[in-house]
């Protein structure tokens, strides 16, 4: 009798356990979602539509029939994800084209649609778009469901039910499992061991199934895999200026990277040097001041004796006399040339040629004398006047009025950075590639600033014996004065284009766990990580060997923000 009771209790326990697991499996069916979808936000319905020109994202709350409704429409360029403004938008419904809707621009890419839906049903919005940049297009937004409950409330109800089922199943199952262990121990004493092992073993698969459903490899593993994609609302994309680009093949230019130093050009640097001992009388410039060639920058009082001053005055007087004589000779030659030109039809040709030669010689002599008298050093009232040799900017100096200076002392320097040279060291094996490059770019210590106004002006005439490198000189137009004298720069010599291949900007690349990734746009508000194999890098772009296909869209800006949102979700 006791054995019959034990067998009956065991059967009841197994039946009860099987029933509970059947309920638990039903409550956690993978076919029935327990939360809002990844493409929706709490309290909002979201619809998408796109063409090769426009990408539309429509968001709205709960719509009630017969009441005024407001919907938000986000309009972006399909290829670049750039918010589009100035779009002419007209909206109606397929079900009743006569229903009136008004569209109002709110901010770039964001438009408000206002209207009234008379019935509790699903509507399809027909959106007519037209703009000067993208032209006309027609898109359909399906299933604008009027009278439907908000998805966030449905998700909350479902989660509450599932949570209740989980809590009940676990504590009941725990009691039953303990009962099974007790029953097994009793059976070990009286029943054959084989039967006891069979009964206890029946409880093990259920335990493994339960643990597998919520432990590693179950829902938690699926949640971990979901970290490879991230939902980014359209308003967040516009805020971060998240732009995209369509993958396509193009002509890739390989580049050779070399390093150099910025040096001044011959006309871009000069030192103002005192010609003799003296005292600074006045300074006409300050550090950082712009000056022009020939502008007075300082005046010195020379430390000379009486005889030296007489000698200087005599030399100055002689120059003035010669200048006046040259002016007289030029006037006479010009007068004679004009006279012969007036009678050129009867005058001898050799006389006209002689008059022209006399005039040119007189003009050249006068210009030479004036250049000597008006050079960088002139004598005026026994003072030495120093002038700027070039147009540029005065450098830093600590000179003050009244200071004593020695002959040959550099008072200050003047630099002109509008055009500078770059000295680059190139190994012999790369010299031919550098000289034959199609174009050059230069990047300074500020990696955000680049210039392409570079040309090679001098190849090397000798090789460094130590490292077998040679020096090549480049000219760089530096109108913004971003590059400074002595700055280390990176120069890239671009080779002729190769065949068609897939390449992307380097700014689009990122790394996750040491592997190169890009972020692909799967839907208007969904991005996923894509691991890629990289090829050649020319400093601006990198070829992609595997991992992305033509026609896909990938993020080109706000890469860091997308990565952080993906890793932190």
pLDDT by residue (tens digit) across 354-371? 888 888 888 888 887 777
C-alpha distance from residue 521 to each of 11, 80, 510, 525, 526 (Å): 56, 11, 15, 8, 6
Can you read off the two tokens belonging to residue 86? 């100035």
186 confidence band (pLDDT: 50, 70, 90): low
pLDDT by residue (tens digit) across 486-504? 888 888 888 777 677 888 8
What residues pair up with 470 in beta bridges, in sequence order?
Answer: 426, 463
CA distance 44 to 53: 26
Mean pLDDT estimate for the chain: 77
Average of per-residue pLDDT across 422-436? 78
Residue-level pLDDT at 408 = 83
pLDDT at 40 over 60: no
The closest of 392, 198, 206, 378 to 288, measured between CA atoms, is: 392
Can you read off the two tokens belonging to residue 156? 């909350």
101 confidence band (pLDDT: 50, 70, 90): very high
Can you read off the two tokens belonging to residue 320? 């003035």
Percent of the chain with pLDDT over 90: 27
Q: What is the pTM of this model?
A: 0.55
The closest of 246, 234, 299 to 526, measured between CA atoms, is: 234
pLDDT at 36 over 70: no
C-alpha distance from residue 154 to each of 158, 214, 404 (Å): 6, 23, 90
**Phi/psi-derived region of residue 442, left when phi > 0, alpha when psi is between -120 and 50, beta in every other case:** beta
CA distance 185 to 416: 97
CB 294 within 8 A of CB 322: no
pLDDT by residue (tens digit) across 128-144? 999 999 999 999 999 99
Can you read off the two tokens belonging to residue 221? 């593993």
Can you read off the two tokens belonging to residue 167? 């809590």
**Which range has highest mean pLDDT (302-306, 310-314, 535-539)?**
535-539
Residue-level pLDDT at 228 = 85
Indicate the SS3 state at residue 58: strand
Can you read off the two tokens belonging to residue 527? 């991005």
């Amino acid at each position: 009798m006791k054995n019959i009771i034990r067998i009956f209790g065991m059967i009841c326990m197994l039946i009860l356990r099987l029933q509970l697991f059947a309920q638990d499996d039903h409550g956690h069916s993978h076919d029935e979602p327990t939360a809002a979808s990844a493409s929706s936000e709490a309290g909002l319905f979201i619809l998408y539509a796109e063409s090769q020109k426009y990408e539309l994202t429509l968001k709205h709350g709960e719509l009630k029939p017969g009441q005024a409704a407001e919907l938000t429409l986000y309009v972006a360029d399909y290829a670049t994800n750039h918010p589009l403004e100035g779009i002419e938008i007209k909206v109606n419904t397929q079900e009743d084209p006569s229903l009136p809707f008004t569209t109002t621009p709110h901010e770039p890419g964001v438009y408000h649609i206002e209207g009234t839906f008379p019935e509790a049903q699903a509507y399809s919005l027909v959106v007519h778009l037209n703009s000067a940049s993208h032209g006309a297009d027609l898109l359909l937004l399906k299933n604008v469901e009027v009278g439907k409950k908000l998805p966030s409330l449905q998700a909350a109800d479902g989660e509450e039910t599932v949570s209740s089922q989980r809590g009940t199943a676990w504590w009941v199952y725990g009691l039953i499992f303990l009962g099974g262990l007790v029953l097994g121990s009793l059976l070990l004493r009286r029943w054959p061991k084989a039967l006891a092992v069979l009964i206890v073993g029946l409880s093990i698969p259920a335990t493994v199934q339960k643990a597998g459903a919520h432990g590693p490899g179950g829902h938690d593993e699926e949640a971990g895999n979901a970290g490879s994609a991230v939902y980014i609302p359209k308003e967040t994309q516009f805020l971060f200026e998240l732009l995209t680009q369509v993958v396509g093949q193009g002509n890739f230019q390989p580049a050779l990277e070399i390093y150099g130093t910025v040096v001044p050009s011959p006309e871009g640097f000069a030192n103002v040097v005192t010609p003799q001992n003296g005292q600074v009388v006045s300074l006409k410039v300050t550090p950082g001041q712009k000056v022009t060639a020939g502008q007075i920058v300082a005046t010195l009082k020379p430390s000379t004796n009486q005889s030296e001053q007489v000698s200087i005055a005599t030399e100055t007087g002689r120059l003035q006399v010669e200048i006046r004589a040259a002016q007289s000779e030029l006037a006479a030659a010009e007068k004679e040339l004009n006279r012969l030109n007036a009678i050129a039809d009867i005058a001898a040709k050799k006389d006209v040629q002689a008059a022209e030669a006399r005039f040119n010689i007189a003009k050249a002599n006068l210009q030479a004398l004036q250049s000597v008298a008006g050079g960088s050093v002139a004598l005026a009232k026994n003072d030495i006047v120093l002038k700027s040799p070039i147009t540029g900017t005065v450098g830093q100096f600590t000179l003050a009025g009244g200071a004593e200076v020695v002959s040959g002392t550099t008072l200050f320097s003047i630099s002109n950075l509008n055009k500078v040279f770059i000295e680059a060291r190139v190994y012999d094996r790369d010299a031919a590639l550098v000289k034959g490059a199609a174009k050059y770019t230069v990047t300074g210590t500020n990696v955000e600033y680049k210039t392409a106004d570079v040309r090679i002006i001098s190849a090397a005439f000798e090789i460094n014996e130590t490292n077998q490198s040679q020096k090549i000189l480049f000219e760089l137009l530096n109108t913004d004065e971003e590059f400074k004298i002595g700055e280390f720069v990176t120069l890239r010599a671009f080779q002729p284009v190769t065949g068609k291949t897939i390449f992307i900007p380097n700014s689009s690349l990122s790394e996750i766990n040491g592997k190169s990734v890009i972020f692909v746009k799967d839907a208007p508000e969904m991005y996923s990580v894509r691991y890629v194999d990289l090829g050649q890098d020319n400093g601006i772009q990198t070829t992609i060997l595997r991992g992305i296909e033509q026609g896909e869209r990938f993020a080109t800006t706000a890469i860091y923000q997308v990565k952080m949102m993906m890793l932190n979700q």
